[in-house]
Structure 1
């Protein structure tokens, strides 16, 4: 089959930002899998733990906002993390309508093991820390721009 696309074709797959982001996302998340498996975490669960290691307790609503996750997506993650003993959920004493998510001692202790993950990912990517920080800054701008019209 002969390609009918020119280098100036706006529909050329290789020029699509969405395609590059999708493939990069899948590939980078796949780098985390062997690092997280010994801890019994999936990548989405790791993100929950990162948020809680940074600030806990958090209400389910606050956690969802930090992670840009809907309650229907977040709830099963929290149930699984609770089942393995890394978090617990209880009614917020200040507002009984809110569920507070707190780290258990096992969840807090897991942070020490997780400190090995970022440098391992940086090493596997083979990029400098400065390059990755620049990429993070650009992606943060992309996220903000894409959320403006919602």
Structure 2
């Protein structure tokens, strides 16, 4: 490979991930429209449907989103009445996030979303999807900070 080939976009792994990330966001947009949430909000809601009443720092770890971005996402979800943000009973300095009745009820509506997205992935079989997930997790752990790697291994 010639030295200048290192700067060709077609040779960049990161560009492929960026493109796939954007494609996923676009694919989810019509599926999430009826719930009135964005893809980042959907990630947070999935984390909360898995475990409700968690601290913001737990959500940062679970969703792998930086605290600043998560704060904006949580504000939007609170404005839409999907969640409430409240001080922890154990430590008033710590904020906890809890689903509202509306947020809990939305889970049943959201159950169809993964199935609908899988219908769009007809050229990947279950084995390839599993292999892709393993490789992406491996790549994430290579690139993430030590603190990120601890959180990824805990999930």
Give the corresponding residue for 1:137: 134
1:79-118: CA deviation from partner (whole Å, max 9, x where unpaired): 1111111101111001111111001111111111111111
Distance (whole Å) between structure 2 residues aligned to residue 15 and residue 98 of structure 1: 44
Distance (whole Å) between structure 2 residues aligned to residue 137 and residue 51 of structure 1: 20
Give the corresponding residue for 1:124: 120
The answer (yes or no) to whether the contact 1:122–1:128 under 8 Å persists in 2 is no
Distance (whole Å) between structure 2 residues aligned to residue 111 and residue 46 of structure 1: 10
Q: How does 1:42-81 map to 2 (within 5 A)?
A: 42-81=38-77
Unaligned stretches of 5+ in structure 2?
Answer: 148-155
Q: CA deviation at 1:148?
A: 4.6
Distance (whole Å) between structure 2 residues aligned to residue 42 and residue 106 of structure 1: 16
Local SS of the residue matching 2:19: helix
Distance (whole Å) between structure 2 residues aligned to residue 147 and residue 66 of structure 1: 14
Q: CA deviation at 1:70?
A: 2.2
Q: Which has the higher contact order (CA 8 A, sep 6+)?
A: 2
Structure 1 or 2: more helix by fraction: 2
The size of the alignment, in residue pairs, is: 145
1:52-83: CA deviation from partner (whole Å, max 9, x where unpaired): 01111110111112122222211111111111
Give the corresponding residue for 1:19: 15
Unaligned stretches of 5+ in structure 1?
Answer: none
Distance (whole Å) between structure 2 residues aligned to residue 22 and residue 44 of structure 1: 15
Q: Mark the CA change 1:149 to 1:48 in structure 2 (over 3 Å): closer, same or farther.
A: closer
Structure with larger Rg:
1
- RMSD of aligned residue pairs (Cα, Å): 1.9
